[in-house]
Amino acid sequence: MSRIQPPPGANLPPARRGDNPRRRRHDLTLPLPQREASLAVPLPLPPPGPSSAQSTSAHSAAQQLINFNELERSNRIGSGTGGTVYKVIHRPTGRQYALKVIYGHHDEAARRQICREIEILRGVDNPNVVKCHDMFDHNGEIEVLLELMDGGSLEGQLIQNEKTLSDLAKQILSGLAYLHRRKIVHRDIKPSNLLINGRNQVKIADFGVSRILEQTMDPCNSSVGTIAYMSPERINTDLNHGQYDGYAGDIWSLGVSILEFYMGRFPFSVGRSGDWASLMWAICMSQPPEAPPTASREFRNFISCCLQRDPSRRLSAVQLLQHPFISGNGGGQAQQAHQNLHHLLPPPRPLPS
């Protein structure tokens, strides 16, 4: 192996100042040109790069608000205890939106609170959460401009294919995990608030809006309208020592909704539109519902992890995204799923006969 030779002159001693008398000639000087200040002009700035231009235009588009007078109502697409939803068209662009008109007239303090809350919701950006674009105060009514979901809600859907149900649950959990990370509790997860579009994207709707309404209305006449999907500790404040965990409450509501999709009916012994006393007894006093024995072991355990009477034993949205029913894309899809089940909660005890 040959050594690497040093470059020529590398071993020479460094030159000392004054060794070369011809290096500097003090008698040779050139006068500097005089600058006329009156003729000076500023040089133009360099053009911005592509990324800067794109970010600037995107920021400008995000700041551009939609004029309410440019919205044209097309037809009504839904209504409930909280308000009525219309399909609207933005005339200058032809884009379609959903406009939710919130019922009720609120005092000034309540209106300011609602405006602050909706302003926070406008910053929410997730592929599994319906986008809130803007809010208007029109003729005393609060109207919220939302992303339009052309497939409507999942209410009344029968979904017994576990692979399809796993993908649906994964999308909802992804949206819930995002909201919970931002300290936003939905409080009204149910099939009618789960929307789908033509690309089979499932998105959570009315996030925060139910909580906003509930803060400004009589608690005895909650805007939610039904307790069918509420967790036991939210209905009966004597449970769980009077403490309510909104995140765990969302997980209970998710479990009831997913089980309803699989069974094709409300999973409790009474109908969801039953009287308040019957629903409260079924939800708070009886054992939580279970998936039928015909379902896979993974799905039955997934439902069990959502519908625990003790809210502290319910898995979080992030934990449920790692559940074998979700990560295995449906029951019976992965051999490893059965090996992971022993890390999860056991199914609830059966009802005494």
Other C-beta atoms lying within 10 Å of the C-beta of residue 245: 17
Which tokens is 52 given? 């800067």
Q: For the chain, list the strands marked E by DSSP.
A: 71-79, 83-90, 95-102, 132-138, 141-147, 194-196, 202-204
Q: What does the CA dihedral 192, 197, 200, 201 come to, rounded to 10 degrees?
A: -80
Distance CA 286, CA 305 (A): 17
Cβ contact 297:338 at 8 Å: yes
Q: Based on the residue annotation, tell me whether 188 is a catalytic residue of this protein.
A: yes
- Looking at this protein, which amino acid is placed at residue 221? N
Distance CA 317, CA 254 (A): 10
In 3D space, the residue among 97, 89, 109, 204 whose CA is nearest the CA of residue 150 turns out to be 97
Cβ contact 325:331 at 8 Å: yes
Which tokens is 314 given? 């319910």
Other C-beta atoms lying within 10 Å of the C-beta of residue 37: 6
Cα–Cα distances (Å) from 21 to 17, 25, 181, in that order, read 9, 9, 74
Which tokens is 32 given? 């500097």
Q: Say if residue 100 carries a ligand binding annotation.
A: yes
Element (H, E) at 61: helix 50-63
**Looking at 107, 125, 134, 188, which residue is catalytic?**
188
Catalytic residue list: 188
Known binding-site residue numbers for ATP = 100
Known binding-site residue numbers = 100
